[in-house]
Amino acid sequence: MPAPHTLDGWYVLHDFRTVKREAWKALDGHTAAAVMRDLRAFIEAELDAARARTASFGAFVIAGGKADLLFVYMRPTLEELNDVKARFESTRFADFTDRAYSYVSVVELGGYLAKPGVDIEQDEALQLRLKPPVPNMRYVCFYPMNKRRVHPDNWYMLDEEERRKHLIVHGQIGRQYAGKVKQIISGSVGLDDWEWGVTLYADDPIHFKKLIYEMRFDESSARFAEFGPFYVGQQVDHEALTQWMMTFHG
Ligand code: VOV
């Protein structure tokens, strides 16, 4: 059976960090403030690149115990993702964090979205979906997932028509959340440990729960989906991140 055609956009790095509590709290207040000022230049450069539409960037404070922070980077190439990773590591701020989890993937759209005869490079709507800005929404939810491959629930043995039917219903559920939840699906077969990264954005985190719960009852998730760890957090600008870090500092 041929693999479905996919449209692949920017490469994505989800970089989850924990704050090194002892080292951070051991800093005097002036030095801690200077470390945060130093991070501003890094964040400003990311925001400039995002405004120029050569990259996407978002910073988040993560709820719960799996991580403290998440930085989302999107770039046209893996080399550029590696470059931004190195630039982050070069900041003084990075010295006060450890990596809790990371995920590498590439923004993916179903190939059938490209209508025959349409030049993908010239289609503005498609380009925006393949190179998406991080939505200006207050909350993020990230998790990796697979499609199950256990007989009789083997997604990869379904014929194309059946997969399409499942995805149509899936899409119908998703569209009920238009304006409430924005999804960026990135493919990671061959790039990371799961098959997709699911990144959802919303202004109210309860919409994550409602959407995901509703999808659980849909066959494409109920029968065929397996999930990795879930992370949820709030989007922060440099000022809010500084405030959070300084509260943490005590
Ligand atoms: C915010 C809502 C939302 C909407 C509107 C939406 C729509 C759509 C459409 C129309 C399509 C098919 C075309 C394409 O673009 O591929 C997809 C595709 C996909 N989705 Fe989705 N999805 C959403 C949301 C959404 C969620 C919450 C999840 C996680 C599942 C869950 O149970 O936790 C998910 C997963 C996926 C995946 C893994 C794929 C690729 C499947 C494959 O085998 O290729 N997705 N999705």
Residue 21 counted as domain residue: yes
Domain around 54: 6-249
Residue 225 counted as domain residue: yes
Instruction: Give the annotated binding-site residues for Fe-coproporphyrin III.
Output: 129, 143-147, 170, 183, 221
Q: Ligand 1 pocket, 109 CB below 6 A?
A: yes
Residue 88 counted as domain residue: yes
Is-catalytic flag, 143? Answer: yes
- Which tens digits make up the pLDDT trace of 79-93? 999 999 999 999 999
Residue 1 counted as domain residue: no
Neighbours of 183 (CB within 10 A): 15
Active-site pick, 11, 103, 139, 143: 143
Residue 174 counted as domain residue: yes
Q: Ligand 1 pocket, 30 CB below 6 A?
A: no
Segment (H or E) for 219: helix 219-222
- Which tens digits make up the pLDDT trace of 207-246? 999 999 999 999 999 999 999 999 999 999 999 999 999 9
Residue 22 counted as domain residue: yes
Residue 132 counted as domain residue: yes
Residue 220 is part of a domain; what is its CATH number? 3.30.70.1030
Q: For the whole prediction, is pTM greater than 0.90?
A: yes
CB 10 within 8 A of CB 107: yes
Mean pLDDT of 15-33: 97
Angle value at C-alpha 220, between 182 and 128, nearest 5 degrees: 30
Residue 237 counted as domain residue: yes
Question: What are 173's two structure tokens?
Answer: 């559920």
Whether residue 144 is preceded by a cis peptide bond, meaning omega within 30 degrees of 0, is no
What is the tally of structural domains in the chain?
1
- Which tens digits make up the pLDDT trace of 103-134? 999 999 997 666 778 888 999 999 999 999 99
Atom 18 of ligand 1, nearest CA residue: 167
Question: What are 62's two structure tokens?
Answer: 């993560």
Q: Ligand 1 pocket, 196 CB below 6 A?
A: yes
ipTM of the complex: 0.97
- 220 CA closest ligand 1 atom index: 32
